[in-house]
Structure 1
Amino acid sequence: MTATAILHQDTEIGLVQIRVSNLERSLAFYQNVVGFKVLRQTAHEAELTADGETVLVILREIENAKVLRRNSAAGLYHFAILVPDRPSLGLVLRNLIASDIHVGQGDHLVSEALYIQDPDNNGIELYRDRPRETWQRDPQGNYIMTTDAVDVDGLLAASEGLTWEGLPAGTVIGHVHFHVGNMNEARKFYIDLLGFEQVAHYGDAALFISAGGYHHHIGLNIWAGEGAPAAPADAPNIDYFTLLLPSEEERAAALERVRQAGYAVEEQDGVPTIKDPWNIGIRLIVKQ
C-alpha cells in the first residue's frame, strides 16, 4: 500500500488527554514538578495550561485503576512538552532537581530532552529544539538523531539568575511517542492513511514520522514487544491526542482516507475522532 496523500506542512500536535488513578495526586505532580497551571477542574478531570489560555493536557481520573508495568502494553511511551528556548529548559531542569525525582536525559542533536514519569508511570518528555537549520539528514533523507549525554552544566548556566515560575507561555505539545504492536501495521495507519512522512528510524524497532519536515510529530516503537496488546481502558495511559489541521478540506480528506480503509469515525464532543489499531484516540481539529 502506498501513501495516497501527505499531510499539510502546517499540521501540528495539539492537546493530549491522559488517564490517571488519583487526580489529586496527579495535580500536585503536574503543577509542582512539571510546571502546569490548572485552567479548569471538575471532580474527575482537570485541564492544564502553560499560558493560562491554551489547554495542553487533560487529566482524567479512572476508578479502580490498574497501574501497568512500564513498557508492557501498546499505548503511551511518552508525550513531549516543547518549551520555547534553552533557558526555559534549564529552569525545568532546576525544578526537577529540586523535586528530587529520577530524570532521564538525551541530546538528540535536533533537540535536548529530559524524561520523567508521572505517579502512574505515564511517560513525559520536556525538551527544547535546536534551530531547524542545524538539523542534518543522512543520504536517505532521514534526520540524524542520537541519544548523547545532555550538557547539564550548560543548561544550568543558561538559566542562571532566572526564576522558575512554571512552564512559560509559548510551551506546546511538540510530539507524542507510542508503543505499538506491529511496525508494518503502524506504518500503514500513520503514513499510508493519515499521511505522515518518515523522517528517521532506529533499525526496525523505532520509527519517527512528521508533517512539514519537523524532526518528528509521532514516534512509534515495538519496545513493548511484537504483538503487544493495547493498554486496557481501566489502566492509566493515553485516551487521545489532537491533530491540528490547517483547513476543513485537509480534515475531510484525511477522514475520507481513514473511512475508505474501514476505520470508524466517531463524533466525540463534536469532534471527529478515530482510533489507531491500538485504541489510541486521535481527534482531528481544524486550527482557528
Structure 2
Amino acid sequence: MTTPSNTDTLPQGTRIGRTALHVNDLNELTEFYRTVVGLSVLEESDTHSVLGVADTPLLVLEGDVDAPTRHQSAAGLYHTAFRVPSRAALGDTLARIRDHWQLGGASDHWVSEALYLTDPEGNGIEIYRDFPREDWPRSDDGRVRISTEPLDLDSIEAAATGDTQAPPGTDIGHIHLEVSSLDAFRNFYVDTLGFEVQTTVPDAAFVSAGGYHHHIGANTWHHRTAPVNGRGLSWFEVLVPNQGALNAVQLRLDGRDIPVTETDDGLVIHVPDEIEVRIRTDPSAL
C-alpha cells in the first residue's frame, strides 16, 4: 500500500467528478441539460442518460417514472455547479438560458462569476467561471474569502460568441448540499475525508482541497431534518489524484468505523443524511 506523506488532508488535484440525479421525466431532463446547459449526450437508454463535454461524463440522469417528489424536509442537493473555462463560455450560457429557459439569479462571488437556474424537476444549477486564482481575496489565515455581489449581466452577455454547446474544459467545479447538521457535515467531510474549511457564512460552510475556493458547500437554510429521498440527488463523486490518496482516505474511514463498500472503481459511503459519496482515483490523472 502506497501512502502519501500527509494522510490527514486531501491532496492538491482532488476534485468533484460525476453527479447523478434521480429524475422522473428522463427525456425532458436530458433535453434540458443538452439545450440549456449545453452538455452533449454521451450515452442514452430507456433508464438513464449520461451527459458531458467531449468524451468526459459529468452528469448521470437515472430515470424512474414512479420516483416521488423530494420531501420538503429531506436533505439533498442545493445545486450542481458546472464550471466553464472562460467568460465567453459564461456569456454563451447566459444566451442559452435566455433563449430556452429562465435565469434565477446571478452573482459576483469575488472568486467567480455565477449564473443560477433550476431544472424542470426543481434541481438547482449554478454555471460559473473562476477568476484567476492569484486574484482571489484571502483572509489573514490564508483562507479564501467569498462574497455575494451583483453581477454585471450586460458585460457577460457581450462576451458571448454564439456557441450552443459547453466548451472543452467544462467540468463540475463544486456541489452544494442541503444538510440537517453542519456539525455532522464538518465531522465527515473535514475531519474524516480530509477537506479543509475555506469559508463560513451564517448556517453554511464551504470546504475544499488544495486551496480551491470550495469543492463542497453545505447549508441548513431550509431546515432539512430527514435523510435524502425521492427525486433529486442520487450520488456524487470525489476524485483523488492517485492510489495513495485513496488508500489514505480508506484508512481514515476505517479508523472511524464508517461503513464502506469497496467496488472495482473505489469506495462508496453513505454519509450523514444518507447522501451517497463515491470516491475513486481520477481517471484523467492516470
Give TM-score, length-normalised by structure 1: 0.92
Quick check: 1:38–1:49 contact (8 Å CA) kept in 2?
yes
State the shift of 1:140 in Å.
4.1
- Provide, for residues 121-163 of structure 1, a one-character-per-residue CA deviation record: whole Å limited to 9, x for no partner: 111110000000110112343322111111101101112xx22
How far apart are the structure 1 equivalents of 2:245 and 2:36? Answer: 37
Report the counterpart of residue 231 of structure 1 in structure 2: 228
Seq. identity, %:
38
Alignment of 1:22-171 (within 5 A): 22-51=25-54, 53-68=55-70, 72-159=73-160, 162-171=161-170
Provide the secondary structure at the position in 2 that maps to 1:192.
coil
- The DSSP-based 3-state class of the residue aligned with 2:154 is helix
Q: Quick check: 1:263 aligned with 2:263? A: no
Q: Is the 8 A contact 1:11 1:245 kept in 2?
A: yes
Distance in 2, Cα, partners of 1:128 & 1:42: 31
Please state whether the residue corresponding to 2:172 is helix, strand or coil: strand
* Distance (Å, rounded) in 2 between the aligned partners of 1:21 and 1:255: 34
Q: Which among 176, 193, 210 is matched to residue 212 of structure 1? A: 210
Greater Cα offset, 267-276 or 235-244: 267-276
Does the 8 A contact of 2:7 with 2:248 survive in 1? no
Partner of 1:5: 8
Q: Aligned residue for 2:236?
A: 241
Q: Does the 8 Å CA contact 2:266/2:281 hold for their aligned counterparts?
A: no
Superposition deviation, residue 174 in structure 1: 0.2
Question: Is the contact between residue 180 and residue 224 of structure 1 (CA under 8 Å) also seen in structure 2?
Answer: no
Distance in structure 1 (CA, Å) of the matches to 2:126 and 2:120: 14
Code of the residue aligned with 1:15 in structure 2: it is R
* Cα offset, 1:270, TM superposition: 4.3
1:49 Cα deviation from its structure 2 partner: 1.2
Q: Does 1:185 align with 2:162?
A: no
Confirm whether residue 286 of structure 1 aligns to residue 285 of structure 2: no
Q: Distance in 1 between matches of 2:211 and 2:222?
A: 28
Give the deviation of 1:283 after TM superposition.
Answer: 1.2
Offset from partner CA, 1:165-200 (integer Å, 9 cap, x none): 211111001000101111111111000000000100
> Hey, what's the Cα distance between the residues in 1 that align with 2:95 and 2:164?
11
Deviation at 1:260, TM superposition (A): 2.1
Query: Residues 217-239 of structure 1: CA distance to partner in whole angstroms, max 9, x if unpaired?
Result: 000111121x621121xx11111
Asked if the contact 2:96/2:164 (under 8 Å) is kept, the reply is no
Q: 1:275 aligns with which of 267, 270, 273?
A: 270
User: 2:103 and 2:280 mapped to 1: Cα distance?
Assistant: 35
Counterpart of 1:58, as a letter, is: V
Q: Is the 8 A contact 1:36 1:49 kept in 2?
A: yes
On the 8 A contact 2:228/2:275 being kept in 1, the answer is no
Partner of 2:172: 173
Q: Which runs of 4+ in 1 moved over 3 A?
A: 267-271
In structure 1, C-alpha distance between the alignment counterparts of 2:88 and 2:42, rounded to whole Å:
25
Instruction: Note if contact 1:177-1:219 (Cα within 8 Å) is conserved in structure 2.
Output: yes
1:251 and 1:60, CA in 2 relative to 1: closer, same or farther beyond 3 A? Answer: same
Aligned to 1:20: 23
TM-score by length of 2: 0.93
Give the partner amino acid of 2:94.
L
Q: Which runs of 5+ in 2 are unaligned?
A: 1-5
Letter in 2 for 1:56: L
In the alignment, residue 109 of structure 1 is paired with which amino acid?
W
- Unaligned runs of at least 5 residues, structure 1: none
Kept in 2, the 8 Å contact 1:181–1:278? The answer is yes
Structure 2 Cα separation of the partners of residues 98 and 132 of structure 1: 32
